[in-house]
Structure 1
Amino acid sequence: MSLRILMFLAVMSAVTGSPSSTVAPEATSQNQTVNPTGAAVDGGVSPDSTNEIQESDLNEPQEDEMETGVLNPDHYPARRAARVVQHYLNTRYGSPYKVFHLDTVHSATAENVTDSGRKYQVEFSVKDMISKKSVKSSAEVFFPKLDEATEKQLQELWYQQQRLQQQHTPVVTISCQEPLAIDTKAQEEAWYQQNKVNQSLVSQNLPDSHGHIEPGMEPLWHLGIVASSFIMLNQSTENTLYNMAQVANVTQLETENEQLKFEYDILLHDMVSQEIPRWRMQFTWSPTEGVRVLQMQHLPKCHNCKLPETN
């Protein structure tokens, strides 16, 4: 426990006259101006307000030392590790009709692994945004140790030009039922065939500034969340907490093979720094192959970018 916290406990004990006075182990946020109604939520801004922002998601880690041992499942460190597993599941099982978001963290522990990083064990539930079905899972998440300069470099480099992401991406080992064994094959095949013929999908601002998405555009939004999980998984560290905020632009590209090909401009939301990083992605998707990322490019900062409202 830091000297600052010890001094605070001593003052609190003297003021209240109670030797049992304690401070909750929650690390409070340095961004006190955060407005939860304007922030992205688990899995992104949902047009039906399916996901609710957790106040604990806005709590930053202690500056002097990360917690070890048993963690409060409602606080930032535990939810950050579970959120990484959410992104991991989306990259492997997500589709325009199956998107995972973090529901509840049941328990979590953390331990230092010599000088190489920190390992988290988490028990949690994830829910499919579309079917609303959930499943309880467990996972181990290992965050490689990063110095400040490396972490900054990681956030600035282009995915295709450097190997840094591969060297410092969190490592996830999951023990889970076949994630939400929901049969979406018919819906995926119909959407695939429709867009394989037309190949003309173009849209902007999903959701719009009022948090609204036209029903016909929801599969594009869901696909954007799944694709953005590749970015968020690669970029996650112990000092970030990413959500998908908005698809700024999406264009379907021509392809000569059996895959649908898209280019997305995506706004993420790091709830720790309150920054809104912009990324451009090119990827393919089909019901049999899932999402295959071709390019991920970190774009210059957008000083006028704003998060869409929630309903």
Structure 2
Amino acid sequence: MSRTDPIPDPDQDSPVATLSELRAEINRLDDTIHDLLMARAQVVTQVGSLGGKGRIALRPGREAAIIRRLLARHEGDLPRRAVVRIWRELLAATTAMQAPYSIAACEVTADGSYAQCAREHFGALTPLRVHRTPALALAEIAAGTATVAVLPLPVDGEPSPWWTTLLHQGEPRIHVVARLPFWSPRPEGTPRAQALVLAAVPPDPSGDDRSLIGLELPAGLSRARFTAGLSAAGLVPGHAILRRDAHSEATLALVDVEGFVTDGDPRLAALVDAQRPPVVLGAYAVPVEGDAA
């Protein structure tokens, strides 16, 4: 049965289906869905064999693009948020088929909302360890004992912001690759945490992205001049965090900008106020909001 071949409508001339007939049709559709899932898994296995051993199969940008595409074609009574949930579990399972992966979540709330947020996005059965500090979660990524770290979204005024450690790092280089939660509005009872996902792989574009850039600026530089400099360089700034350390002559800045920015983007060299070359800390797919979810 295709999307254009519905079950007979009682208001039409065709006879009304009985309950047993409708249940039989549901069973047939379940078998068809299951057959397609198994076929999809076979294709994923082939994809995994092309990547080679030890490859991290995580592709948050492509996953976001898949979900956006499905939501754009979705119709009928099934809630759109259910489509997101179904495919998030499917994507988590098929990612694990290609290479084992686990989560290191930094939990800073009493209600466990960051761990719940990680579970919602990466699947109910994906191995997850909870840490009380961002440093411990990031250490797992650096050591290769976790694939992704879920950390609180940076805010102004933090005493020891985790993002500053990404400005000067060795190998493996850790990037921001996603933002959670990916969909809203949030129904009652769902986690309200706002988080970023980090991994030892570069982000991949989704088609609608924002990038995070870290900079070292002169200590007296104003926020207005900083954002004006970004705009003059052709970067469209969003939220910016300026951290002025009393023991340093510089101001550290974190800003999210429109689009998918890479290390070689010529606009970075046009940021004349930067005391050192700007660092692209990563990028994330813009979450789905409003009626789209």
Classify the TM-score, shorter chain: under 0.3
TM-score when scaled to structure 1?
0.26
Structure with bigger helix share is 2
For normalisation by structure 2, the TM-score amounts to 0.27
Larger radius of gyration: 2
